Amino acid sequence: MSVQVRNLRKGETLPPDLQAHGMAYLIPEWAWVVEPAPPTDPIAILTAPAPIPFALIVGGQVHSWLLLSRVVASSPLPETIPLTWFLEALPQVFDEARSRGCVGFLTLLADNRPEEVRLARIVAGMPGCKILPFQGSMGFGPLVGEEVTQ
């Protein structure tokens, strides 16, 4: 395995290219950083520099489902990182979510964003997974304590 996934540590500062994740704040238990796997040689472990995260996967638990909200990666990727890093990282995230009681995952993907279309193809090829196309909008906004008006 060439990448490892771990939860974001409380108070950890992300590399600058991962800080533009678009979230108000990150809940460490549901934010995973992806970094190069450490060397397996005992001597190399002692001299290897600390791994630097190159990707961030943000999710949350919604009524027993893992909601994948965002994937952010450095661009360009470090040359030592395979282009298939996501296919290695995703099962690690799923294992962690399953251990916390999640029974499945869901994500919303746009048809007009090439990276999300590629992710839809990955999901469609996974055993037991489906893509349900829809037309519509996604609404979001702050919880400011004002009454809802029509």
CA distance 128 to 94: 14
Q: Which domains does the chain have, with CATH numbers?
A: 3-124 (3.40.630.30)
With a cut of 50, list the residues of the chain below it in pLDDT: none
Q: For position 148, what pLDDT does the model report?
A: 61
2 neighbors 37 (Cβ within 8 angstroms): yes
Q: Closest Cα partner for 29 from 97, 88, 104?
A: 97
Interior angle at CA 32, CA 12 and CA 21, nearest 5: 75
Q: Given this model, what pLDDT does residue 56 score?
A: 97
pLDDT at 143: 80
User: Which helix (H) or strand (E) element contains residue 97?
Assistant: helix 85-99
* SS3 of the chain: helix, strand, coil, percent, to 5: 25, 20, 55
Report the C-alpha gap between 131 and 123 in whole angstroms. 7
What pLDDT is attached to residue 45?
Answer: 67
Predicted local distance difference test score (pLDDT) of residue 72: 93
Predicted local distance difference test score (pLDDT) of residue 149: 61
Name the pTM for this structure: 0.86
pLDDT of residue 146: 62
